[in-house]
Structure 1
Amino acid sequence: MSNDRWDEFVAYARLHFEEGLIRAGFRTGPVGWSGLINHGQGSTRVIITLPSRFPFRPPRVVPEEEENVGWSWHRERDGALCLVAEDDHDDLWWTDSTAFLNHVSAWLEEADAGWPNDRPDLDLERYFEPSRDHRVYLYDEIKDHVNTFVRFKPAKNDTMIMLRGTRIPKARKSHKDRYGYVVELGDIDTPPRSWDDLEKRLPEELSIDRKIRDGSISVVMVTYRRGASLGVLALDLSVDAEQSIAAGALTSASTGPEARNVRAGILAPSLGNSKIAIVGLGAIGSFVADALVRSGARNLTLIDPDIILPGNLVRHLVDPSCVGLSKVEAVRRYLMERYGAQNLTLEPVAQRLDNGADAFDLIDAHDLVINASADFATTALLRVAAESQEQHVLSVALRDQGVTFRIDVLPPLTEVEATPALVVPTTQEEVAELFEPGCGSPISPAPPHAVMEAAAAAVRHAIGILSGRPIDDAGETRSVAPQGETHES
C-alpha cells in the first residue's frame, strides 16, 4: 500500500465515521462530537473523539457529566468508557458508527445493571499513574506474605526479587534494596484511583501511612480479589514536598507455579501425574521433551546413548554450552534450568535400548513410551514388547529427506488398515547424501522447521493418548514440504 492509498484509507474511514455521527444527531464542538446515547434507563450525553491512530484504535467516549455514569472497572483512569477489550480487536468493527453507537448503548445498559456476570479482569494497576521505576518486581507465593515486611533485591535484567525481611537499621541511602509491605484489600467492586482512596479501604491497625512517612517502606504490594481470581498491585510510594503520599504503579509478576502453568493448557494438571519415557533425545526427541514439560508433564525418563556434537545444534533444543555432554544430560540440564522450580523429575539414561527385558520394564513403568530414535531396530523392539504386554507406544520419525514425518501408534489402538505411504512431491529436489567423520549413516537434510512440526504433532498425539482422547487410532503421515501439504491418517 502506497502512502497515497494509506492516507486515502484513513481519511475515508474518518469521514465515513463522522458522517454516521452526524446522522445520529451528534454535533461537533471544541473537544469532540457531542450527542445523546439512549439506553434502558434513559439517555446520557457523551463526547466522542477520534484518536490520532483511528481507525486502528477505537474512538474515545466520555460522559459530558462524569458523575452521571458510575465508577467501575469499565472506566479508564481519566474517566473514559472502557469499550473495547484487548481480545475484541477483530475487523476494526468500531469504524462503523452505527455498530459503535449501539455498543456504547449496550455498555451503558450494563452499567445501569451493575455489570452482572462481569469477567474478573485483574488490571488494577491501570488506575494509577505508572511509576518512573521501570524494573519488574517479582514475587513468589504472595499469599504467604500478607501483613508482613518484604525486601526487594536487584537481580539481572532489571528485575527485583522479593524476599522476607525488614529495613536494615540506618540503611545507607545508596543501598540498592527496597523495602515493602504486603497488604490484603479483599474483594473490591470498584477500583481505587489514588493512594488516599486505597488507604481508606485498608485496616487502620496496619498503619501503612506511618510506615511510608517514616521511611520504613517505599513499596506496597496489594493483594485483591475479583470473584475467585487473585490479583496483585505493586505500588511505588513516596512523600512529596507537600507531605502528600504519591503512588505509582510498578510492573510486577508472579514467579509461582500457577503463573507459570496458566498457559500450559487445560490438560496440564492431568499430565503432571503421567510418567513418560522418551527414547531418542536427538532433534525431534529434545523438542518433544520440551513441549511435554511446557504442557504440564513433570515425570520424564530420557534415553539416548549419544553425545551432543556441534553439528547437532542447528536442529537440537540445547545450545553450544552443551557440546560434549550426553544428549540426555544436556536436555535434562536445559529443562531443569528453565523449568526446575516446577517439581520436575527427569531421569537420564545414557545408554541404548537394545534388549527385550529393558523394553518390557520401560513400558511397564511408564504411562507412555515415545520412540523418537529413528532407528528401525529400536522401533521394532518396542512394538513387539508393547504387543506382548497389550500396551501401546508412540513412534515419530522424519522420512523422505525431511519431506514428511510419520507418527505411529504401535500397535494401533484398534484394528485399522495399514497407513498408506505418502506421495512425496515430485518437485522436491534431489539432495546428495552427506556424511561427517564418526557417523556410520548419512546426515539427514531435514530442516529445523520439519523437526519442530514433527515434535509438535507427536506431543499432540501423546497428550491425546494420555488423556483418553486419541487423535487417531494408528497415527498420521504428513508432508512438511514447502510445495504443499498432503495428509493421510
Structure 2
Amino acid sequence: MTRAWDAGLAAERDAWRAALGTAGFSDDGATLHGPVRWLHPDGQTVTATIEVTATESFPFTPPRVRILDPGAELELTFHRERDGALCLWGADVAVDDAPWSEPAQLLARVAGWLAETAAGWPGDDDCDLERYLQPDSRMVLYDRDILVATRGCVRTFTDAGGQRVTVSGEPQRPPSRWRVNKQGGGRRNHRRRPRVGRKQRRLAWVADIGQVDRVIADWDTLCAVLGSDTSEVRRLVSIGVVEFVILRYRRADADGVLALAVAPALRGNGYEVRACESADTSVATRMLRAGSTAFDLADRRVAVIGVGAVGSFVADLLFRHGVRRMTLIDPQLLRPGNLVRHLAGEAMVGYPKAAAVKAKLAGLGFDVSGVDYQRDRLSTPEQAIRVIRDHHLIIDATANQRATALLAWASSQIAHPVVSVCVQRQGGVVRVDRFPRRGDEQHLDPLPPSTAFDLGREHGCDEPVSVTPPAAVVAAAQLTCRVAIDELTLGCALPATLLDVLIPQEPPYDVLGMHTGSTP
C-alpha cells in the first residue's frame, strides 16, 4: 500500500525528471544524462555533459550533479565534494523556494558553476579546503594570534583521550639529517636513522602558503604548495617526527587555516593526508557569538549576590555576554540536592557555591582573574553600601525579602542600579525589578503568596525547599540578564518591573506572557 506522502513525493520527482527530459536529458531510471550550455570566459559558448541523480532526500536537498565532460579543457577545482559532486547551493537556501526543483534554474546554476571554475573563481572567499580530503577524527586547536607569527616545527599537546590536539607557538628543533658514527672517526652514516628525542615527536609543521588557486587533495598537491619546504617536511614525516601540517592560506580577502594529519602510507611508499577539523582558540574568535555589546561590558563591574539556582545561571550568562569583572557572593556550600537546578556539577559538591560558579566560568576558557568570590551573607547597611559603591550593577538573586529591601535602600543612597530577581508560585511566575526607579516609574504590585503549593524538605536541611523546575530558573536568569545588559550599556529602555507569567495564575496574571511596570 502506497503512503499518501510517498505518492506525493514520487509524483513531484517524476514531474521533475520529465522536465529534464524535455531539456534533452536521457533517463535510465537511476540517473539522468544531458547537456548544459555555458559561456567560457573567452567568449565561446561550450556544451558540457553532466550526470544528475535525485537522492532519497530530494527535493529537500539538491540533486547530486557530476561533470562528465566540461566541453572544454578545464581543471575542476573548488566547490566540489570529495566524490566529484558539485556544491551548487549553500545550506542556508530556503527549501520552500528550492531553486533546484526547477530544472531550468538547476541547469543555469551548473552553467554558472562551470563559468566560475573556468575563470578561477574570482573573488571567492570560501575557506573550506578540508572538504576535499578524507577526514581525520581529531580536532586541532590553535591560537590565531600566535599562529600568525609561527613557521616551521612547533610542539603539539594531545589530551588524554587523543581527540584534541593543541598546536603551540613553541618552536622545536627537529632531528638532524644524520648521526655521527663515533666508531668510524666521525664519518657520516646515512644508513642510520637520526635519534628522535621525546620532545621531537608529534610535531606540527606550520607554513603560510598565501593565495590558494587549487584544492589540496593528496600528498602531491600538498607538496606543490609547500614549495621549498617539501623535502624537509617529507623527511620529518617519514621518520615519525611531524604528524601535522598546519597551513595558513587566503581565498580572496579571507584568511583560512587547514590542519592536516600526515603519515607514511601503511602500504607502499607514499604518504597519507587527512583533514582535521580545526578551531581557533583566540579570545576574538571565542567572543564572536557573545553579541554586539560584549566590548561595552568588558570593563563593567557586576556583583551577583546569591549564586544559588538563578544566580549561578545569571553569572554564567553575563560572563558569556562579555562581563569580565564580577563579584560572586553567597554564604552557602553546594549540596547534592542543589545540582538539578544549579550551574555547577557533582565535582563541586561541598565547596562554596560562589567558588563552584567561578570554577564553571573558568571552564569556558576565558580569563577569570577579574572574577572574585566571597562566602558571605549580606545583612548590614554598611555591607550593602560598600558593595553598591564598588560595582556598576548589583544582581540580587537572594530570594530573600530582607536582603532585597536592604539593597533597594542602598541603591537610593548611591545611584547605582540593583536588579532583583525572584521565581514565584513554584516556577509559574518570574519577576525582575530594577532599583532605583527613574522619574515617575512604578513597580508592579507584589504578587500575593499562594497556599496552593507544598514546599518540599531535604534530609539534612532544616529549611523548606522550593520545587521550582529548572526551566523556570533558566527563564528567570535570561530575563535578569536582559535587564542587566540594558542597564550596563545605558540603554535604559526597560521598565522598572518585568513579570513573565509562565503558568496562568489568577487575574490579572491569567494570561501567559509579559507584564510590565509603568514607564516614565
Shift of 1:455: 0.5
> 1:197–1:213: structure 2 CA closer, same or farther, 3 Å change rule?
same
Aligned pair partner of 1:217 in 242, 266, 284? 242
Residues 369, 110 of structure 1: CA spacing in aligned structure 2 closer, same or farther, 3 A cutoff?
farther
User: Which of these residues, 281, 289, 297, is aligned with residue 323 of structure 2?
Assistant: 297
Give the structure-1-normalised TM-score. Answer: 0.85
The more displaced of 323-332 and 67-76 is 67-76
**Would the alpha carbon gap of residues 90 and 472 (structure 1) be closer, same or farther in structure 2, given more than 3 Å must change?**
farther
Compared CA separation, residues 129 and 376, structure 1 to 2 (3 A): same
Matched, 1:352 2:377: yes
Alignment of 1:403-418 (within 5 A): 403-413=428-438, 415-418=440-443
Q: Deviations over 1:215-241 (max 9, x none)?
A: 442321112233554322122223445
How many residues align structurally?
480
Match of residue 395, structure 1, among 372, 395, 420: 420
Q: What does residue range 37-436 of structure 1 map to in structure 2 within 5 Å?
A: 37=36, 42=45, 44-45=47-48, 46-66=50-70, 71-88=76-93, 90-91=95-96, 93=98, 94-105=100-111, 107=113, 115=121, 118=124, 120-131=125-136, 134-140=137-143, 141-156=146-161, 158-163=163-168, 164=170, 165-166=172-173, 170-171=195-196, 178-204=202-228, 207-226=232-251, 229-240=254-265, 243-336=269-362, 338-413=363-438, 415-419=440-444, 430-436=452-458
Instruction: After superposition, give the CA deviation of every residue in 1:238-286 in whole Å (9 maximum; x if it has no partner).
Output: 3445534432223333343344333222332332222211111010000
State the SS of the aligned residue for 1:291. Answer: helix
1:332, distance to aligned residue in structure 2 (A):
1.6
Distance 1:389 1:228, change over 3 A: farther
Aligned partners of 1:464 and 1:116: how far apart in 2?
Answer: 44
Q: 1:26 to 1:300 in 2, by over 3 A?
A: same
- Could you tell me the TM-score, scaled by structure 2's length? 0.80
Counterpart contact for 1:151–1:167, Cα < 8 Å: no
Q: For residues 19 and 31 of structure 2, what CA distance do their matches in structure 1 show?
A: 14
Closer, same or farther: CA 225–276 of 1 in aligned 2, 3 Å: farther
Could you say which residue in structure 2 is the equivalent of 1:488? 515
Mind listing any 5+ residue stretches in structure 2 that lack a counterpart?
A: 176-193, 506-510
What SS does the aligned partner of 2:3 have?
Answer: helix
- The answer to whether the Cα contact below 8 Å between 1:422 and 1:477 also exists between their aligned partners in 2 is no
Q: Is the 8 A contact 2:328 2:372 kept in 1?
A: yes
Distance 2:203 2:452 in 1: 65
Which ranges of structure 1 fall in alignment gaps of 5 or more residues? none
Structure number with greater Rg is 2
C-alpha contact 1:150 1:166 (8 A) present in aligned 2: no
Check whether the contact 2:129–2:215 (CA below 8 A) recurs between aligned residues.
yes
Deviations 1:420-450 (A, max 9, x none): 67899xxx99322334467665322211100
In structure 1, how many angstroms separate the alpha carbons of the residues matched to 2:323 and 2:92? 29
Residues 334, 149 of structure 1: alpha-carbon distance in 2 compared, 3 angstrom cutoff = closer
Q: Distance between the aligned counterparts of 1:197 and 1:11, measured in 2?
A: 43
Greater shift after overlay, 273-282 or 6-15?
Answer: 6-15
CA RMSD of aligned residues (A): 3.5
The one-letter code of the counterpart of 1:479 is V
**Aligned partners of 1:309 and 1:324 also within 8 Å:** yes
Give the letter for the 1:450 counterpart.
Answer: A
Counterpart of 2:19? 20
Letter in 1 for 2:513: T
Identity %: 33
Aligned-partner Cα distance in 1 for 2:386–2:428: 34
